[in-house]
């Protein structure tokens, strides 16, 4: 199986030993606490699950600035975005051992224990520098920029021990999986070549066929459909609805034992190219050999060019940085001429009207009215789940 990023073995920060974990939970009761923001909590969950291997905790300011500028830490480790714990809380000192509390679970239970190795003030100029490098914009209408600039002005760095996986394990017991668990399942399946498909949305026909194309083109053993389960921008479809629609699609339209439907506990950054590279890092940690990178991967609005998330792998990611390879996808749609879903680049003789193309707004309006999109666009079983959601949403609003 493909090696994890940055080490020979995966080193998740979750304390798997029940006795040791119970002792740490008890210790946390008497430690000073820091209530995390959602971004830092999501970073802890990803560190705990082995997704951010080989990191041992939150980055310090020097590493965060270096990663933002060069995609490498101060000591040369390739990493595409800073993994930080930023706060405005005071009363913490270097050398403290503190309990990190979960902002996303009622009662704010302890999520992790941290040894504070560094406390550094971050200037507005440094925040702007990092934000512009990560997001390629300082426009605060960009949801990732707005979130990043609101996190705090003190970086708390140091190693952590993770004690649970926040709400993800409880709310999504059949879907949430750590990188460790995904590696174990890939090994149990006997898969060697595995393609990852990243999604924060339901999957329509084009996405389904894209997965099928990648599997066939690469002669892959299986595909990992890996959905983000954390926080999104307003208007995005909730994780439980996406989960149900994707599972139905796989159940009906894919052969048994060819697809793993899983999810990970992270908040969307909307960082376009940088986030695509982050997706590649943690899919390698999952044991995947390939990642599908499509048009406007991890983008939002018009902040990124359609294929910036692909060209970053050519122009900015060193050739030896990752073992995982990307599968480059164009915009994919149903061709009326050919009677099947194709990548648009593979149909140069087509005009726009030769494809079944619907905007997200148009689809949402149809589903809200109980009208199924054309079967060439969306499987009827998937459309039914989404229609029920949108109609319930509209009835609440009226």
Q: Using alpha carbons, list the distances in angstroms from residue 361 to 235, 236, 240.
A: 11, 12, 21
State how far the Cα of 194 lies from the Cα of 208, in Å rounded to an integer.
Answer: 16
3-state helix/strand/coil string of 296-323: CCCCCCCCCCCCHHHHHHHHCCCCCCCC
User: Which residues participate in catalysis according to the annotation?
Assistant: 200-201
Torsion of CA 380, 386, 391, 394, to 10 degrees: -150
Report helix angle 124-135 to 273-286, nearest 10: 70
Query: What are 30's two structure tokens?
Result: 């008497």
User: Using CA atoms, how far apart are residues 196 and 249, in angstroms rounded to an integer?
Assistant: 16
Nearest to 81 by CA among 278, 257, 339: 278
**Which phi and psi angles does 150 have, rounded to 5°?**
-100, 0
Q: How many CB atoms lie within 10 A of CB 231?
A: 17
């Amino acid at each position: 199986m493909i090696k994890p990023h940055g080490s020979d073995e995966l080193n998740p920060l979750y304390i798997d030993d029940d006795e040791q974990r119970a002792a740490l939970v008890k210790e946390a009761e008497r430690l000073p606490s820091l209530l995390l923001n959602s971004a830092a909590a999501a970073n802890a969950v990803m560190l705990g699950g082995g997704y951010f291997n080989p990191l041992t905790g939150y980055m310090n300011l020097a590493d965060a600035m270096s990663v933002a500028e060069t995609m490498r830490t101060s000591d040369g480790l390739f990493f595409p975005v800073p993994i930080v714990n930023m706060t405005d809380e005071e009363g913490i000192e270097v050398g403290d051992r503190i309990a990190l509390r979960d902002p996303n679970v009622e009662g704010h239970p302890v999520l992790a224990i941290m040894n504070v190795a560094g406390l550094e003030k971050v200037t507005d100029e440094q925040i702007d520098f990092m934000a512009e490098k990560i997001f390629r914009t300082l426009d605060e209408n960009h949801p990732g920029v707005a979130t990043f600039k609101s996190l705090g002005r003190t970086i708390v760095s140091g190693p952590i021990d993770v004690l649970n996986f926040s709400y993800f394990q409880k709310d999504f017991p059949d879907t949430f999986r750590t990188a460790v668990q995904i590696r174990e399942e890939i090994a149990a399946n006997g898969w060697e070549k595995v393609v990852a498909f990243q999604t924060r949305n339901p999957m329509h026909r084009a996405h389904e066929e894209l997965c099928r194309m990648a599997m066939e083109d690469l002669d892959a053993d299986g595909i990992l459909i890996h959905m983000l389960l954390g926080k999104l921008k307003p208007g995005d479809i909730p994780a439980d609805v996406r989960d149900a629609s994707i599972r139905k699609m796989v159940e009906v339209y894919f052969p048994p034992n060819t697809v793993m439907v899983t999810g990970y506990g992270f908040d969307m950054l909307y960082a376009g190219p940088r986030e695509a590279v982050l997706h590649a890092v943690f899919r390698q940690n999952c044991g995947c050999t390939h990642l599908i990178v499509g048009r406007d991967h991890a983008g939002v609005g018009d902040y990124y060019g359609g294929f910036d998330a692909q060209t970053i792998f050519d122009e900015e990611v060193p050739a030896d940085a990752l073992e995982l390879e990307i599968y480059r996808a164009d915009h994919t749609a149903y061709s009326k001429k050919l009677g099947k879903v194709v990548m648009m680049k593979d149909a140069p003789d087509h005009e726009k009207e030769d494809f079944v193309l619907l905007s997200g707004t148009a689809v949402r309006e149809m589903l809200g009215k109980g009208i199924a999109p054309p079967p060439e666009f969306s499987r009827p079983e998937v459309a039914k789940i989404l229609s029920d959601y949108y109609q319930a949403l509209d009835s609440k609003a009226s």
